[in-house]
Amino acid sequence: MRKFATLLLFLATLTLQAQNFNDYFTDRTLRIDYIFSGNAKETHIAVDELCTSPRWYGKRQHLAELPMEGNGQITVRSHQNGKVIYRNSFSTLFQEWQSYPEAEHVTKSFENVFLVPMPKDTVEVTVDLRDNRRNIVATLTHEVVPTDILIRHIGERNITPFVTLQQARDTSRCIHIAFVAEGYQKQEMDTFIKDAKVAIDAIFAHEPFKSHRDCFNIIAVESPSEDCGTSSPSEGIWKNTALHSHFDTFYSKRYLTTLHLKDLHDWLAGTPYEHIIVLVNTDQYGGGGILNSYNLSMTHNKWYRPVVTHEFGHSFAGLADEYAYEEEQIPMYPHDIEPWEQNITTRVNFHGKWENLIAPAKAAKKELKKYDPKVGFYEGAGYSLKGVYRGYPNCRMRDNTTPYFCPICQQAITRVIDFYTK
C-alpha cells in the first residue's frame, strides 16, 4: 500500500511539473546573445540578438531553481504576474578577464550566449553578474515578446551533421551533451569521433558519472575547419578554424579557449544540446571549463583524458580548482567570503557543503565505518595556499594524476545530476 501511495505521489508530481512547463513554455529554444563589456572597475550588459530553434533540450523541472549559484544568473519572469518561471546560473570568461592586469587599462567586450525555453507569452528576462564577493555588479532586464518578428529562426535546415554516441535511458528527462569539432578538417571527422569516444570513456570511468551513465544523451557535432589544429599566437601561428580558438588567452601561454560563443552556438543550432564539450585537434597541452558555457580540451596530448574530465567538472558541476601553486597566488576567493563552489571553503560559512561526510566526534565505532577518515579540511585550494580549503588530499579537480573525483566532488556532481534528471 505504501508503495502504491508513493507511486501515486510520483505520478502527481510528474503531471504537476509537466503542466508547469507547458503553462509557460513551448517545446522550442530561445537563444539570447549578450555583449558583456567593461574593465576592472566597470561592468555593462547589452542584448545583442535573439534567435529561436526547434525543441528544448534543457530542464523541464526545478524550473525556478538553480543548480548552483554561479558568477551570474539569468532569470525569466512572467510579464503577467511577475512569477519566476525559469532560472539558470553560469560563469564567464569576461569575469575572469576582469581580474587580469589588462583590464586595469582597457575596456573590452565579450560574447555570451544563453538558452532558455521559448516562452508562450511576453516575459521579462534579467541577467546579473556577480563579483568574487558574491555582490551583483551589473544587471539588465529586458522584455521578450515571443511574436517579435525580429527573433531569428535558426536550426531548421542546413543543420551541422552529427552522430549520436550515447542515448539516454529516457531522452525526455536527461542531460544533453554535445561534442563540437574544432580544428578538424572535413576529412578528419573519423578522428574527431574517435577522440569524442575517448573523452566519453574517460569521463564515465569516474564516479559518479559511471553509475549515472544512462542519464546522459551524447552527440558529436562535425563542425569542419578550413585549417587543421588551432592558433598559437605566442609562436605567431594563426589558423582558420570553426571556432577560432587559440592558446595564450589573456596572454597566459597554456590557456586554450574560444571567445566566439556565437559561432559555437551557430554550429550547434538545431542539434540536441545543452552542455558543450569542444575538442581541439592539437597535441599541445591546454584547456578550460566555464560553468554552463563550455568545456574545451586538447585531444592529442597524453593528459587528454584527465583534462577533459577535469574541465567537465568546471563546466557541468561548477566545481572549483582544488590546487594552489607556490609561485602563483591568484586572489580569486577572498578569505572573508564563503565561495559558492561546493568543493572549496574559506570556513566562513561552511554549512551545507561536506559536513555530512565528516564523522561526528562522538560517533560509535560501527558508525565510523560509513565515513572516509580522510575527509576533512586541507589548506591550499582555489589558487591560494592559505585561507582556502579542500576536503580531501587529492582529487581530479586538484591534479592530473589522481584517477578519481574526491568524495566531496562526487557528492556535488551527484546533486547536479539529480537536479537535472529527478
Which residues form the interface with Zn ion (CB under 5 A)? 343, 395, 397, 406, 409
Question: Are 410 and 391 within 8 A, CB to CB?
Answer: no
Closer to Zn ion by CB, 127 or 406: give it. Answer: 406
3-state helix, strand, coil in the chain (%, to 5): 25, 30, 45
Assess contact for 226 and 281: CB atoms under 8 A.
Answer: no
On the 0-12 / 13-18 / 19+ scale of CB atoms within 10 A, 273 is: buried
Pairwise CA distance, residues 307 & 53, whole Å:
32
* Owner of C-alpha cell 573590452: 108
Residue 194 CB neighbour total at 10 angstroms: 11
Amino acid at 203: I
Going by C-beta distance under 8 Å and a sequence separation of 6 or more, which residues neighbour residue 50? 30, 31, 32, 33, 144, 148, 150, 151, 152
Please say which residue, 85 or 388, places its beta carbon nearer to Zn ion.
388
**Closer to Zn ion by Cβ: residue 249 or 343:** 343
Least spacing, CB of residue 378 vs Zn ion, in Å: 10
C-alpha 383/C-alpha 401 separation (Å) is 18
Q: How far is the CB of 72 from Zn ion (least distance, A)?
A: 23
Minimum distance from residue 321 beta carbon to Zn ion (Å): 10
- 85 vs 406, beta carbon nearer Zn ion: 406
For Zn ion, which is the closer residue by CB, 91 or 343? 343
Residue number, 259 or 408, with CB nearest to Zn ion: 408
Cell 572597475 belongs to 41
Least CB distance to Zn ion at residue 323 (A): 10
Write down the least CB distance from residue 346 to Zn ion, Å.
Answer: 16
67: cell is 543548480
Provide the minimum distance between the beta carbon of 394 and Zn ion in the complex, in angstroms, as a whole number.
8
